[in-house]
Structure 1
């Protein structure tokens, strides 16, 4: 990926729920988003899941989304398509990354 002048990288993190298998191996999830400031579009995304398939699946849910008016559309899609015990932590990591971006803007 080529970084452009108007791209920024933001990240948000959240803890997985204690007592879940994923907490025992990972504890925290990170959402790393590259956002085009001129369009508020997520041009690329990555998550800190150990498994590549999980990372790629969640990244595909957020990539290409406009966050000018918030992340509610992304949250709804994650709620319906990501059926894992740490779903709320993934959502919280996205919200935190968005809030960092929004505060900067």
Structure 2
């Protein structure tokens, strides 16, 4: 996918709990939201999941949602209702951290 030069990238990180595959390989979970600054739409999501399947699954909960209009909260609720693997709290903490990055951008 060619990146639109007008989009913005917001990232967040959180430490995986010990005993998970994510902790053994990465120690931290990272997520990035590519956002259209004019509309607030989340147009792409990237993460440090171990598999493409998990990354695509996470993206499906957020792509198309509006970060300005509660899209991150709605995406978290959708993700929580559908994701049944270890590290859920870590992933949500990283998502919230990415949203804080967006809010810090708005405060500039």
TM over 0.5, shorter chain: yes
Name the residue aligned to 1:50: 50
Name the residue aligned to 1:13: 13
Name the residue aligned to 1:80: 81
Q: Distance in 2 between matches of 1:66 and 1:103?
A: 17
CA contact (8 A) 2:22 2:49 kept: no
CA contact (8 A) 2:33 2:42 kept: yes
Q: Distance in 2 between matches of 1:54 and 1:4?
A: 24
Any gaps of 5 or more consecutive residues in structure 2? none
Secondary structure at the counterpart of residue 84 of structure 1:
coil
Secondary structure at the counterpart of residue 44 of structure 1:
strand
Q: What is the TM-score of this pair, normalised by structure 1? A: 0.89
Q: Distance in 2 between matches of 1:50 and 1:62?
A: 19
Secondary structure at the counterpart of residue 75 of structure 1:
helix
Of 27-36 and 63-72, the range deviating more from structure 2: 63-72
CA contact (8 A) 2:10 2:102 kept: yes
Any gaps of 5 or more consecutive residues in structure 1? none
Per the TM alignment, residue 22 of structure 1 is displaced from its structure 2 partner at its CA by 3.4
Per the TM alignment, residue 6 of structure 1 is displaced from its structure 2 partner at its CA by 3.2
1:4 aligns with 2:9: no
Of 61-70 and 74-83, the range deviating more from structure 2: 61-70
Give CA-to-partner distance per residue, 1:71-103, whole Å, 9 cap, x none.
211111111111111001111111111110111
Of 16-25 and 46-55, the range deviating more from structure 2: 16-25
Q: Distance in 2 between matches of 1:51 and 1:69?
A: 30
Secondary structure at the counterpart of residue 69 of structure 2:
coil
